[in-house]
Amino acid sequence: MILREEQLPDFVKEMVERIGMEAQRLSFFTRSLLSFARSDADVDTEADVNLVLQEVMDFLRYEARKDSIMVIEEKDFDLPPIAADANKLKQVFINLIMNAFQAMEDGGTLLLKTYAADGPFVAVELADTGKGIPVGAIDHIFEPFFTTKAANEGTGLGLYITRHIIERLGGKIQVRSVVNEGTTFTLLFPL
Ligand SMILES: Nc1ncnc2c1ncn2[C@@H]1O[C@H](COP(=O)(O)OP(=O)(O)O)[C@@H](O)[C@H]1O
Ligand SMILES: [Mg+2]
């Protein structure tokens, strides 16, 4: 006997719906893992951080407008290229910028700054005016699966992957945050 959907008991409908939601969550999770695994294959040997940031912002600009977020860019256009794969850098910037947008649900400002720092390093600073990170959480944000978001919004892998990519390049990632004021991530890439 084959039942049509409207003939199914409520608890079965509910279960089917939950299975669908879990499947979606798992597929999102697998995709993050796959892009993490793939990210070990370097394609480019040199990347221009200003250009990569530009490409990422072209892709996320709609997202910013939708959430009434103003993006300010202060770029040093005399920076030399860094030894990195552009696609991995893209993944780093997308992770950090999406986190910033998600922290500014009621709007805000994201400052993207590039400059030369002592080391020598190429530095990228991403400063948002979002909700900030509580003291108890800041020590855990780079751990795999640490998330304060709902299951369909975050996997807790973004910063873990981000740090992995940056450290493989010999770089550093630093964070400072004040609750209700905002969060600043500073990335340092060796020349
Ligand atoms: N810009 C930010 N502002 C406030 N909290 C942040 C920011 N970036 C990261 N976080 C915190 O760090 C946690 C881990 O981030 P991430 O590894 O990208 O995982 P996810 O975004 O999937 O939760 C987030 O859940 C959030 O609590
Ligand atoms: Mg994230």
> Model confidence over 6-16: pLDDT tens digits?
788 888 888 88
CB distance 171 to 190 below 8 Å: yes
Structural domain including 34 reads 7-190
Do the domain assignments include residue 178? Answer: yes
Q: Is the CB of 104 under 6 A from ligand 1?
A: no
Do the domain assignments include residue 2? Answer: no
Q: Is the pLDDT of residue 31 over 60?
A: yes
What CATH number does the domain containing 57 carry? 3.30.565.10
Phi and psi angles of residue 96, each rounded to the nearest 5 degrees, phi first: -70, -40
Cα of 11 from ligand 2 centre, angstroms:
34
Do the domain assignments include residue 12? Answer: yes
pLDDT category at 172 given cuts 50, 70, 90 is: very high
Do the domain assignments include residue 93? Answer: yes
Indicate the pTM of the whole model: 0.82
CA distances to 133, 156, 158, 161, 180 from 142, rounded to whole Å, are: 12, 8, 8, 8, 21
Cα of 18 from ligand 2 centre, angstroms:
24
As for how many domains the chain has, the answer is: 1
Do the domain assignments include residue 97? Answer: yes
Report the nearest atom of ligand 1 relative to the CA of 146.
Answer: 14
Do the domain assignments include residue 1? Answer: no
Q: Is the CB of 128 under 6 A from ligand 1?
A: yes
pLDDT category at 33 given cuts 50, 70, 90 is: low
pLDDT in tens, 98-129: 999 999 999 999 999 999 999 999 999 999 99
Higher pLDDT, 176 or 36: 176
Do the domain assignments include residue 32? Answer: yes
pLDDT in tens, 70-108: 999 999 999 999 999 998 999 999 999 999 999 999 999
Do the domain assignments include residue 68? Answer: yes
Q: Is the CB of 129 under 6 A from ligand 1?
A: no
